[in-house]
Amino acid sequence: MEIKPIKTEEDYQRALDRLEIIFDSEPGSIEGDELEILGILVDHYENEHLPIGFPDPIDAIKFRMEQLGYSQKDLAKVVGLKSRASEILNKKRKLSIEMIRHLHEKLNISAEVLIKAY
């Protein structure tokens, strides 16, 4: 087991290849320990070099609606605008501060995601 810091894209790819090989290793075995340590190194590299940005606010709303089984009518009740839910979902109407507050409180969507420009 030779583990080195992941400093380059090549190191990262080599680590991913190795992870794939030892993925089903038994916990506590030599390869299991290697898997755990290598996983930590890969996670650190990804967080530092491949950050995941916030999703589009409307995509986040649609995703949460799908999770909750909400319809467009349900969304209208949340934001308080009966006829405007379709305009929001089609990006024809911007989210107001009040809408963002309601979406955050009632659908538990991060306000930081909702205030992002789209």
| Whether the Cβ atoms of residue 114 and residue 104 lie closer than 8 Å to each other | yes
SS3 21: helix
Cα dihedral 100, 105, 106, 108 sign? positive
SS3 59: helix
Q: Which amino acid is at 2?
A: E
Of 39, 47, 36, 49, the C-alpha closest to 16 is 39
Listed by start position, the domains of the chain span 9-49, 57-114
Q: Which amino acid is at 54?
A: F
User: What is the per-residue pLDDT across 80-99, written as a single tens digit (0 to 9) for each?
Assistant: 877 688 899 999 989 999 99
57-114: CATH class: mainly alpha
pLDDT of residue 6: 96
Chain CA centroid to CA 101, Å:
21
Distance CA(86)–CA(93), nearest Å, equals: 9
pLDDT of residue 3: 87
Low-confidence ranges of the chain (pLDDT < 70): 1, 83
Q: pTM (2 decimals)?
A: 0.58
